[in-house]
């Protein structure tokens, strides 16, 4: 459970998972058909900012790259260890194509590399950076906990990279019928109603309840994604490109 979309082809190649045989069609911003992996939650990656400190956040990666040194501080989780950080690398590659490396290099002076999304968000909360890359719906989850919507995410002109989390059944599971029943439960409205407040993501079941804080978030202009096989084939090269741009 909780398998991120960029890892699905690697998981599929392991041949450790059995077909889920679920008749439930998940509600996602993009078409999805997979007999092995059943989506249970989705969201988008985005740049989070404190609305009290920043009144006009940048609305594109190019704007960040073109900002003068010292004018903007952005925390990015290390893509080698963070799913959100990897999503950022994929996001730029999907939208900027061969220009992605040059944009990362131009943005380098504004970027602080964090060990994970939690660390990046902690830097934002302490005022050490102006923006932090994380799930775009994190501000809503934080508002549920605090009762005040203090943070927002910057909707980019090029759209946001789509995050999909899936569940699957292990091949050879001793109780496959129980495993299938559990997947059916995960897709049910009662279980899906807990996705937003507990996971900070959106449910894939339209009948699930959605907290008001989520409805106050502006929807992305577009859902950006890449085919799983493309990610599997190009991930190492794109991470190496990011390393070169960051001088690592």
pLDDT, tens only, 189-245? 999 999 999 999 999 999 999 999 998 888 899 999 999 999 999 999 999 999 999
- Here the CATH number for the domain that contains residue 36 is 3.40.190.10
Single out the residue of 218, 201, 199 nearest to residue 149, CA to CA: 218
Question: Does pLDDT of 63 surpass 80?
Answer: yes
- Show the tokens assigned to 147: 């009762």
**Residue 225 · residue 161 · CB < 8 Å:** yes
pLDDT at position 49 is 97
Question: Does pLDDT of 1 surpass 80?
Answer: no
**Residue 5 · residue 90 · CB < 8 Å:** no
Residue 71, domain extent:
3-245
The pLDDT of 30-52, averaged and rounded, is 95
| 25 — pLDDT class (breaks 50, 70, 90) | confident
**Residue 69 · residue 179 · CB < 8 Å:** no
Single out the residue of 32, 10, 48, 242 nearest to residue 160, CA to CA: 48
Length of the chain equals: 248
| 78 — pLDDT class (breaks 50, 70, 90) | very high
- CA–CA distances in Å: residue 130 to residues 28, 102, 111, 152, 223: 31, 22, 10, 12, 24
Of all helices (H) and strands (E), which one includes residue 170?
A: strand 169-170
Burial class (CB in 10 A: 0-12, 13-18, 19+), 112: middle
**Residue 46 · residue 133 · CB < 8 Å:** yes
Q: What is the pTM of this model?
A: 0.93
Domain count, the chain: 1
pLDDT, tens only, 146-187? 888 899 999 999 999 999 999 999 998 889 899 999 999 999
Q: CA angle 26-29-33, nearest 5°?
A: 45
pLDDT at position 69 is 82
pLDDT averaged over every residue in the chain: 94
User: How many alpha carbons lie under 13 Å from residue 13 in its C-beta half-sphere?
Assistant: 9
pLDDT, tens only, 80-95? 999 999 999 999 999 9
- CA–CA distances in Å: residue 179 to residues 17, 39, 75, 104: 12, 15, 39, 43
- Show the tokens assigned to 248: 């690592």
- Show the tokens assigned to 145: 């906990």
pLDDT at position 233 is 96
| 70 — pLDDT class (breaks 50, 70, 90) | confident
pLDDT at position 37 is 95
Single out the residue of 43, 162, 5, 32 nearest to residue 94, CA to CA: 162
């Amino acid at each position: 459970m909780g398998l991120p979309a960029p890892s699905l082809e690697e998981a599929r190649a392991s041949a450790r998972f059995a077909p889920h045989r679920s008749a439930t069609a998940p509600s996602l911003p993009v078409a999805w058909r997979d007999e092995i992996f059943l989506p249970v939650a989705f969201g988008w990656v985005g740049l989070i900012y404190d609305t009290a400190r920043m009144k006009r956040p940048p609305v594109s990666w190019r704007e960040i790259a073109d900002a003068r040194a010292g004018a903007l501080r952005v925390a990015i989780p290390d893509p080698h260890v963070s799913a959100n950080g990897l999503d950022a690398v994929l996001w730029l590659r999907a939208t900027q194509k061969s220009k992605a490396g040059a944009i990362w290099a131009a943005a380098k002076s504004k970027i602080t590399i964090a060990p994970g999304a939690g660390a990046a968000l902690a830097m934002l909360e302490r005022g050490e950076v102006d923006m932090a890359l994380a799930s775009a719906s994190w501000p809503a989850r934080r508002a549920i906990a605090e009762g005040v919507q203090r943070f927002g995410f910057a909707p980019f002109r090029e759209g946001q990279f789509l995050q999909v989390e899936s569940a699957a059944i292990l091949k050879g599971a001793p109780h496959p019928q129980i495993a299938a029943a559990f997947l059916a439960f995960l897709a049910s409205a009662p279980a899906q109603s807990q996705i937003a407040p507990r996971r900070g993501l959106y449910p894939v079941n339209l009948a699930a309840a959605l907290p008001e804080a989520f409805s106050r978030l502006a929807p992305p202009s577009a859902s950006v994604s890449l085919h799983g096989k493309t990610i599997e084939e190009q991930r190492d090269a794109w991470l190496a490109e990011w390393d070169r741009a960051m001088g690592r």
